[in-house]
Amino acid sequence: MKNNIDIYLFHRGEHRKTYDFLGVHYSEEKTIFRTWAPNAKKIELVGDFNNWIGVPMVKINNEGIWEVEVKNVRKLDRYKYKIESQKGLVQYKSDPYGIYSEKRPNTASVVYKIEDFLWKDKKWMGKKHFSKDKPLNIYEVHLGSWKQKENREFLNYKELAKELVKYVKSMNYNCVEILPINEHPLDDSWGYQGTGFFSTTSRYGTPEDFMYFVNYLHCNEIGVILDWVPGHFCKDEHGLYLFDGTPTYEYSWDLLRENHEWGTANFDFSRNEVRSFLISNALYWLKEFHIDGLRVDAVANIIYLDYGKKSHPNLKNEYGENINLSGINFLRELNRVIKKEVPRAITIAEESTAWYGVTKLENENGLGFDYKWNMGWMNDTLSYIKEDPIFRGGNHKKLTFPMLYAYSENYILPFSHDEVVHGKKSLINKIPGTLEEKLGNLKALYGYMITQPGKKLQFMGNEFAHYLEWRFYEELEWKITKEAPGKYIKRFVKDLNKIYLKEKALWEKDSSWDGFQWIDGNNESTSVISYYRKGKKIEDDLIIIINFSGVNWEKYRIGVNKKIKYKEILNSNKNIYGGHDEGNKNIYFSEKVGWHGFHYSIELMIPAFSVFILKGEY
């Protein structure tokens, strides 16, 4: 009876735990293997347990579910499905629902049963930690290249857990985001071209080892977000591509199927079984591994029929638009199901276009995500910081324009891995000038990021001015954290992050227009901007002043709204951050001198390439 219900839900696109039905189900007495291959002529199970001599599988329904029961199977035995197509083509496929795999370059699935894991994160799991009125400061990590052993071997999940917690807590991040850890054949893809969507990559250990990783971070009050790729998959022969000899998980029409930009195949979201596969996979990570959220990669590739493609008159929906209606419905269903079944979890869209309503609710014609990466802010900001300071006045709107749409979605401000690879240069090397000027500019850039509306994400290495572009095959240059400018930037980011976590004005009203007020956003001639960030209580308000010019402004006056004392809680020009201690007064008294439309004002010395944060004492 249970199988009949599973089959029914799977083919309707409504099965939420397909991994409990399909794939391998091991016990010492017997092991059951099931897969979905609707157009296969014949399937045999091959593996260590039968000397790789095929055992026929039986097709148990007309829609293509195949099954076999085998005795004398041992845990860690390798296996594949030998699939013969209707045209006689024979392929050896790994298990789409396999939960463990051989370490690359080998490609077999591995018989595995996750033993009862003793979770100790009940206190953490009982709360939703990253809602809109709470701080979210994400450290983005590629596990294989954050740190390595001396012989360049990977650290395992357990070793990574202890090293990461120690570092992340010391740097005042409260969440890590991990580049995809589903099984993938090529290190160069960083996990974004997967074959085993339910298989925790064996590069760093077992599924239980990854559970230990998540549990350890939770017990130390660090959240874990997983980069998740439901849009496309790699075309390696052992994977999902043409699984039964015909398009199965992918679109049958080559214009929709083939993703030439990435050399991958796009999932067919109109197919019920594919939706069961993908939504079950999302819930698998959130429920079974206690993941706190999913960052959904390449959402634009899901919502546009012609994304990354040459124009074609047939790449239109029934209304004559380039919108992928089945992709839209999939994303809405995904977010609806997650909010119902895992309400503590968040979903984040990496969506690179101006699509409206990514973080709006479905009844508002939205997609239902909790957050969206603000790619417009990132592109404008990095374009501005690359400019020679002499010419920044002419590009001043790149700093101020993003505020016009800052509250149109619930945003995360990202400086991600994508910005420090493929010839784009590391962040510090995007900036012109001498090393000292680069250092000052980078501090100003980070001060601007942390104090703007929106949650935060920094890729590993950014926090200590990693000089080289990110290289996935070797660990970060940790040695530069002991010398200038690395040690200065690291100390600055550590203190800046601490202020972010502590100061409510920087996150309490992230989704409200009254959480921000310009003091002066129009001073193109000085390249200085100043603004308020506001909390729910006036005593939490902060004043931010940032000088993006190479000029020391000796007597720079800004308007303020109260006649009180203001305390300096951050000055990027302190010598502990590699500065010269200029402008470091600590305390400022406002005067009854009207300025910038306010009744009061204060006067400061603003050094070149510096950021100040002030807080009133009431």
Verify whether residue 244 is a known catalytic residue. Answer: no
Active-site residue identified among 95, 297, 380, 503: 297
Q: Are 223 and 176 in contact (CB under 8 A)?
A: yes
Calpha distance 515→508 (Å, rounded): 8
The structure tokens 């250990």 sit at 205
Would you say how long the chain is, in residues?
618
Calpha distance 122→126 (Å, rounded): 6
Calpha distance 113→419 (Å, rounded): 39
Active-site residue identified among 350, 409, 463, 495: 350
Closest C-alpha among 531, 454, 410 to residue 135: 454
Calpha distance 22→35 (Å, rounded): 6
Calpha distance 542→452 (Å, rounded): 12
Calpha distance 433→438 (Å, rounded): 6
Name the DSSP letter for residue 407.
Answer: T
- Taking the CB of residue 379, how many other CB atoms lie within 10 A of it? 14
Verify whether residue 350 is a known catalytic residue. Answer: yes
Strands 553-560 and 542-547: unpaired
Measured in whole angstroms, the distance separating CA 191 from the mean position of its chain's CA atoms is 12
Q: How far apart are the first and last CA of the chain?
A: 69
- Taking the CB of residue 313, how many other CB atoms lie within 10 A of it? 5
- Taking the CB of residue 483, how many other CB atoms lie within 10 A of it? 9
**Which residues have a catalytic role annotated?**
297, 350
